[in-house]
A and B are shown apart, each in its own frame.
Chain A
Amino acid sequence: MIERIAERNHGRHQRLDRVWSYKPGWGAFAAVNHTTIGLRFLVTGLIFFLVGGLLAMLIRTQLALPNQNIVSPALYNQLFTMHGTVMMFLFAIPVLEGAAMYLIPKMIGARDLVFPRLSALGYWCYLFGGLIIMSSLLLNIAPDAGWFMYTPLSSIEYSPGPGSDFWLIGITFVEISAISAGVELVVSILRTRTKGMSLNRMPVFCWYILAMAFMIIFGFPPLILGSILLELERAAGFIFFAVDGGGDPLLWQHLFWLFGHPEVYIIFLPAAGIVSTLIPVFAQRPLVGYRWIVLAIIVMGFISFGLWVHHMFTVGIPSLALAFFSVASMLVAIPTGIQIFAWLATLWSGHVKYSLPMLWIVGFLVVFVCGGFTGVMLALVPFNWQVHDTHFVVAHMHYVLVGGMMFPLVAGLYYWLPHVSGRMSSERLGRWGFWLFFIGFNLTFFIMHLTGLLGMPRRVYSYDAGLGWEWFNLISSIGGFITGIGVAVIILDIALHFRFGRKADRNPWNADTLEWATPMPVTTYNFASLPTIETRTPMWDRPDLPERIENGEFGLDEPRHDLRETWGSDAVTGELKEIVHLPANSWLPLLSASFIALMCICLLTKSYLLALPACLLAVGYLLQWSWHNGAHPIAAPFYDDEPYSPPLHSRTCDGPGRWGMIITMMANGTLYASLLFGWFYLWTAGPSWQAPDDGPISFWPLLASGGLLTICVLLYRQLVARLGRGESNGLERGLWLACLIGLVHFATLLWVLLAAPLQPTMSAHDSVLTVMLMYLLLHSGLAVILTGLQAVRVRIRYVGARAPYEPFVLRPFWSYTLGVFWISFAAFILLPMGWGGG
């Protein structure tokens, strides 16, 4: 009997594995599965971490003694710029995204993330963007204006070399991966939880990642916009940040820190999520204050968007604003305090097992709380005026970032290592690694607070003897090298464990969450059948869960038609809504990312004629990607024995794709709002803003163009509404008509742009208008193309009454295009007319 079950399970495993694994050899480049992609993110991020660490070691070597000339000032500027850039953009965020991508589907009982090809695209964009940025270091033309790229130092006049371009283009490229991960994680968490996992039964880690993902959606676009504008200023002579012509360098600082501050919490939240996950496991007691923590996460997410000005306390802004942002900055102490004391309460009521991950959690607490306190100090403006831009801030920020991110990350690394490798790491070597890292880190950075108070500014390549800084710097450098040895020991420990670690039992820490219900090491498809969840701690309440999953007692236990399948569920209740069929291995992500990379390289080398075909090829592959959907043979062609309850997602009207589109439009809308912010900011606060009495854009043609767009969108929406009622007659004709009206609208808008006497190289006013019109054109053009493709797909029956999914995905895009058109019309045309000279 038992043998028969084992045999049956083995057969199921083989069938599932055949559908879910990628081809060996070159096929690895076409992999899209979240386990593979997540691990790639992690490994790549750790390599970039080593590079960033190496740069830090060079910095500490140069500063170890006064008046040293080991590195030149020019190289030193590249070193600290790249150290910050690599650690922030190429290590911290991608590694945490990677961890989230690896863990989230397993924690919510799914087989993959909901847009697997997007994960792969994100990875390739990250890798290629990272390599582009790193290449500048090898060519000795690395960016050297600081990781914050303040204008005008980063402008063409004061940084004529290509360094700043590498930063702006490379980082924007990398950020594609952040945004795609953000969209993917939000939709996966909301729409693909397994049966019965309502929001309040979701593991707390998922709440943290959900908040992080939303913060990426709203936090990154300001910097993406800022980078595009600065690159336009550098490469095409537009004016946004140069005072002559009406720009303002402060606009850059606002856009940068509108991103930069939330980013700190984007890094902290997933790490805190690791803490909240591990503490209950090691205390063997459910998290005390789950609701408090969820509330704290949400509050933290909101507050973090209202603090950005505390990076700008010394730029000379009105004192009332200073007071406001000072208070707001300190308020973050409340949600942080709630979490720290909820963790304390959990430890208080449990029997704590003091294993290696727990040691790192305690290290986290000491270091992070210390960094939090100096953070409150820095939020106090009169004190900030003294220590801003000194080594005090360097110390503070390393305490917060290393304490708030690195310590929990290593704790998590040791905790989930058995899940990846099926083996346990060495407790003894691990403890050596911890103590070396902990002592080295504190030696480096604790003393550095004092170095800063004694007046040592940041970003100086050397210093004179006799200022009282010699001993402190020497101690910091020695501490830095001890930290480095600690990292080496940790890496050694992890490397050795793959070979010598003892085999781990299933669920070795006796954890409560679903990811430990998978076999170890994990299979390609995670779960042999997708479990039904009744409580928040399923592994504690149902110890036989792994076995029952293995035996196929739950849903989707057999692959049908060679489709990769996972559940789609209601965002709140977790009730089943559909079967989401997921794309399998695909070369399209790699191809698209390669051509985007080629385009970036062409832009960097100013070969604009080559950049255009590269861009078109990238768009072409992305369109082909969208083609392999719905009832396309590569996706889910119509079968006679199709499931109806729940149905396949491409047979529904509210599938994950529509959610993905809406979330993407939130990010897009934030980008647009940042542009709008720039417009109003320059208008009201720019030191030399000039605007012509009569706007350069012709009013009536623009109004006509908007009228056409409105008709087009109304028509489209009506077609989709009819399709939702199952009426698909005349759909193709209607789509072609919408396409045609959209095209006329596009042509009118293009004419408005070309006919307007805009001089973007002369005034910031015209620069912003030009960017706004190009933004509208881009959206209208894309919407028309996608609608045309839909019409063709209706004809060849990939889309229709039986598969109505895709027109519903496109609808929010049309509505968004319409919305931004009229907002633009009001903000850029009507308001200046009413005001007199905008």
Chain B
Amino acid sequence: MTGIASCLLLSACSGPLSSLDPAGPHAASAALLWWGMFGFFTVILLIVVALWLYAIKRDPGTVSDVEAQRTQNRWVLGGGLILPVVSITVILLVGIPVGRSMLPLPLESGQALRVDVQAHQWRWEVSYPDTDVGLTNELHIPAGKAVDLHLTTADVIHSFWVPRLAGKLDTMPGRTNILRIEADAPGTYHGQCAEFCGLEHTDMRFTVIAHEPATFDSWLKEKQNDD
């Protein structure tokens, strides 16, 4: 029974753009954060609503002001102070290191591959530094390796997002933002612009193709020779 339920749940969560069907370390930890918080808050929500409904239903008899004062202290301190403070602390203790792991910080060994991505109304121009390889709406990366995307824009604000790999980052006029992505395994991953950017915002889609590292190197070489 639980097997069927979890199968249903998983299939409902899969999809080419689903952040709950992660294929990279960053997306995976974000999905984990989601399930953790979802479970925790569902329990709290049910408890709070149940308490309210019970408080409405129950017959308190005659409550003296002293008793009311005691009820107040119990609920306001417990629910209004302790509960949020504890919840927030737990969430931040877990969440902040996770967030830090997603930043484009120096790696322990080696360097992340740099790819330049420039957003235009309404397409993505991709180029590989130190090569003359240029692509449109298509991004090739090696699987299992950290890739730093240097995001810029030629016009308005856009946002680069491949839900199965990592979170999104905006492209800001006059600035370069760096987003780190990583794919666990070779494959094709879909992405799209997430910041409203005008008439054809909806159609500003792109794909990320992850290769085996060796295949990627030969692809890049080949591509360079082609040009």
Contact = CB atoms under 8 A, between A and B. Distances in A.
Interface in A293-316: 296, 314-316
Interface in B138-160: 155-157, 159
B95 A381 contact: yes
Contact of B99 (A243, A382, A687): A382
8 contacts: A158-B155, A289-B76, A316-B170, A334-B84, A348-B75, A365-B49, A373-B45, A687-B175
B107 interface: no
A614 interface: no
Given A338-B80, A338-B81, A387 B19 contact: yes
Contact of B30 (A73, A362, A376, A386): A386
A370 B194 CA distance: 25
A238 to B, nearest CB: 17
Contact of A458 (B19, B34, B76, B196): B196
A498 interface: no
Given A380-B95, A468-B18, A243 B56 contact: no
Interface stretch (A145-153, A182-190, A476-484, A523-531): A145-153
A388 interface: yes
A152 B156 contact: yes
Contacts of B168: 314, 385-386, 388-389
Contacts of B157: 150, 152-153, 249, 315
A454 B198 CA distance: 23
A334, A339, A380 — which one has the most chain B CB atoms within 10 A of its CB?
Answer: A380
Contact of A377 (B27, B41, B52): B41
A362 B53 contact: yes
A343 to B, nearest CB: 8
Given A337-B79, A338-B76, A342-B76, A285 B52 contact: no
Contact of A454 (B13, B63, B87, B172): B13
A458 B16 CA distance: 17
Nearest to A383: B33
Contact of A351 (B41, B59, B195, B198): B59
A461 B19 CA distance: 21
A385 B80 contact: no
Interface in A670-691: 686-688
If over half of B's interface residues share one DSSP class (helix, strand or loop), that class is named, otherwise mixed; here it is helix
Given A334-B84, A339-B80, A455 B18 contact: yes
Contact of A340 (B33, B37, B79, B196): B79
A719 interface: no
Interface stretch (A19-27, A44-52, A325-333): A325-333
A77 interface: yes
A488 to B, nearest CB: 28
Contacts of B81: 334, 337-338
A338 to B, nearest CB: 3
Interface string A551-583: 000000000000000000000000000000000
A700 interface: no
Contacts of A342: 72, 75-76, 80
A322 interface: yes
A771 interface: no
A41 B168 CA distance: 41
Given A331-B88, A348-B71, A365-B49, A314 B102 contact: no
Given A352-B56, A454-B20, A373 B44 contact: yes
Nearest to A250: B172
Nearest to B158: A153
Nearest to B61: A351
A386 B19 contact: yes
B78 interface: yes
Contact of B167 (A382, A450, A466): A382
A340 B19 contact: no
A461 B202 contact: yes
A459 interface: yes
A369 B45 contact: yes
B61 to A, nearest CB: 9
B88 A292 contact: no
A457 interface: yes
B41 A373 contact: yes
B29 A382 contact: yes
B11 to A, nearest CB: 9
Interface of A: 73-74, 77, 145-146, 150, 152-153, 158, 243, 248-250, 285, 288-289, 292, 296, 314-316, 319, 322-323, 326-327, 330-331, 333-334, 336-342, 344-345, 347-352, 354, 358, 362, 365-366, 369-370, 373, 376-377, 380-390, 450, 453-463, 466-469, 686-688
Contact of B163 (A250, A285, A455): A455
A77 B196 CA distance: 9
Contacts of B155: 152, 158
Interface string B66-95: 011101101110111101110110011001
Contact of A341 (B53, B75, B85, B195): B75
Interface string B160-172: 0101001111101
Contacts of B202: 73, 460-463
A152 B170 CA distance: 13
A333 B88 contact: yes
Contacts of B75: 341-342, 344-345, 348
Contacts of A468: 12, 14-16, 18
Contacts of B196: 77, 145-146, 150, 153, 389, 458-459
A314 B52 CA distance: 37
A290 B193 CA distance: 48
A457 B204 CA distance: 11
A460 to B, nearest CB: 4
Contacts of B118: none
A687 B174 contact: yes
A74 B199 contact: yes
Nearest to A461: B202
A339 B80 CA distance: 7
Contacts of A146: 196
Nearest to B34: A383
A825 B116 CA distance: 44
B72 A243 contact: no
Given A327-B92, A365-B49, A457 B170 contact: no
A462 B177 CA distance: 29
Contacts of B127: none
B99 A315 contact: no
Interface string B1-32: 00000000000111111111000001101110
Contact of B68 (A345, A366, A457, A460): A345
B214 interface: no
B68, B72, B103, B121 — which one has the most chain A CB atoms within 10 A of its CB?
Answer: B72
Given A322-B99, A351-B60, A385-B102, A454 B15 contact: yes
Contacts of A366: 45, 49
A380 B63 contact: no
A387 B178 CA distance: 19
Nearest to A282: B56
B17 A456 contact: yes
A466 B190 CA distance: 13
B188 to A, nearest CB: 14
